[in-house]
Amino acid sequence: MDPKLINDCVHCGFCLPTCPTYALWGEEMDSPRGRIHLMKQHVEGTPITPEMAGHFDACLGCMACVTACPSGVKYDRLIELTRVEVERQHVREPEDRAVRGIVFNLFPYPRRLRLLRPTMWLAERMAPFLTRANPSLGAMAALAPRVEHRQRLPRLVRARGERRATVGMLLGCVQREFFPQVNAATARVLALEGCDVVVPPEQGCCGALSVHSGRDAQARRLAGRTVRAFERAGVETVVVNAAGCGSSMKEYAELLGYEPGFRVMDLSEYLAELGPVAKRHPLPLTVAYHDACHLAHAQGVRAQPRGLLGAIPELVLREIPESAICCGSAGTYNLLQPEAARDLGDRKASAVGTTGAELLVSANPGCTMQIAAAMRRAGGTIRVAHTAEVLDASLRGVML
């Protein structure tokens, strides 16, 4: 790790109010500033202790501190490099190792996730019993969404009308298996806006969950496969509808050591650049838009989804209080740190409830599951949808 990355921090404290774990616990070592202090100790020769590893594990990697930092500290890079060191040097407790083994041998593999689909209806009922055995297993069950019929996209979805562009589309892992309707809506929206959509069947996990958790070898292997799939497809742009995936794919050059032969753009980012031309039908809905951390903080994409939603006739867009505070999903965080994630999820659900919105719109499957579960606990009735689903409904003239 380059010591300069650490020394860029001037300990000003602007990051503290934006840090979810500092907001929860008020502990210096559970803030970006405190964790950077621990990183400096390690770089100067202090071995990673279980206590240090605990503070690093407690970080969500939401990057709100990166947005807030006036000195341009690359905390996102610092925490990723530190997590690699933690995985290499820290010996975890057997139960922790077992849970991580389940998570990282399951979620990056769509075919394995597919095996869970028939059991999803039972998962929420089983959550209290599983929690007694292990909180992470209980959290996994409690987060399970109500899955829709699996929809398989063809290799090529043709543009409707005049073709304006050709793009690749990432299917994702959780998105593909648990939210197939989101991928179907994404392809329809792109096609209605004049795009040929190329969907390479050999694509797999992008590696986001692995890179965010310090599993660099697995991350590089998965990322390399993804790059090869889209380079063989010959597309210049890959459109992504999951914030965490898009964030990691935009950093492939740093992970792999070379620039892929395509650019990566979030769906809303791409549509805003392309310029929407398809007719929008009215959607008389009051909508609250949730900023996924890996879209707003990591990619700087905030105005584009709001602009697209705001252009729909009769749709009323409302802002969520504390929008910069993470919902607690953060990749695998809500599985590996379930207590903190639950507190943050409840806080976000409460904030959403104050908007009076009928529909919550999110651009990340992890956020969707996390906030939906928190709202179920709170007895809320607000529905959750992806940006693509709202745009799709307006373009086709159907109600959500």
Per residue, the 3-state secondary structure of 179-194, as one string, reads CHHHHHHHHHHHHHCC
The answer to whether the beta carbons of residues 140 and 335 sit under 8 Å apart is yes
In 3D space, the residue among 144, 141, 136, 145 whose CA is nearest the CA of residue 338 turns out to be: 136
Cα gap 282→327, rounded to integer Å: 30
d(CA 85, CA 81): 7
| The pLDDT value given to residue 144 | 84
Please give the domain boundaries of the chain with CATH numbers for all domains: 3-89 (1.10.1060.10), 286-396 (3.40.50)
Q: What is the three-state SS of 70-108?
A: CCCCCHHHHHHHHHHHHHHHCCCCHHHHHHHHHHHCCCC
Task: Give yes or no for a contact between 87 and 214, defined as CB atoms under 8 angstroms apart.
Answer: yes
Tell me what pLDDT residue 40 has. 95
Report the pLDDT value the prediction gives residue 154, as an integer from 0 to 100.
94
Q: Pick from 84, 88, 75, 63: which is nearest to 34 by CA?
A: 75
Q: What is the model's pLDDT at position 177? A: 93
- The pLDDT of residue 151 is 81
pLDDT score for 334: 93
Q: What pLDDT sits at residue 120?
A: 79
Joined together, the tokens standing for residue 384 give 């959750």
Rounded-to-integer distance, Cα 201 and Cα 153, Å: 9
- Residue 22: phi, psi to the nearest 5? -70, -35
Asked if residue 192 lies in contact with residue 278, where contact means CB atoms within 8 angstroms, the answer is yes
Helix (H) or strand (E) holding 157, with range, is strand 156-157
- Non-local (6+) Cβ contacts of 382 within 8 A are 288, 352, 353, 357, 358, 359, 360, 375
What is the helix (H) or strand (E) element at residue 266, kind and residue range? strand 263-266
With 0-12 CB in 10 A as exposed, 13-18 as middle and 19+ as buried, what is 360? Answer: buried
The full length of the chain comes to 400
Which residue ranges in the chain fall short of pLDDT 70? none
Interatomic CA distance for residues 4 and 397, integer angstroms: 54
Span 288-344, pLDDT tens digits: 999 999 999 999 999 999 999 999 999 999 999 999 999 999 999 999 999 999 999
Neighbours of 110 (CB within 10 A): 17
Amino acid, single-letter form, for residue 313: P
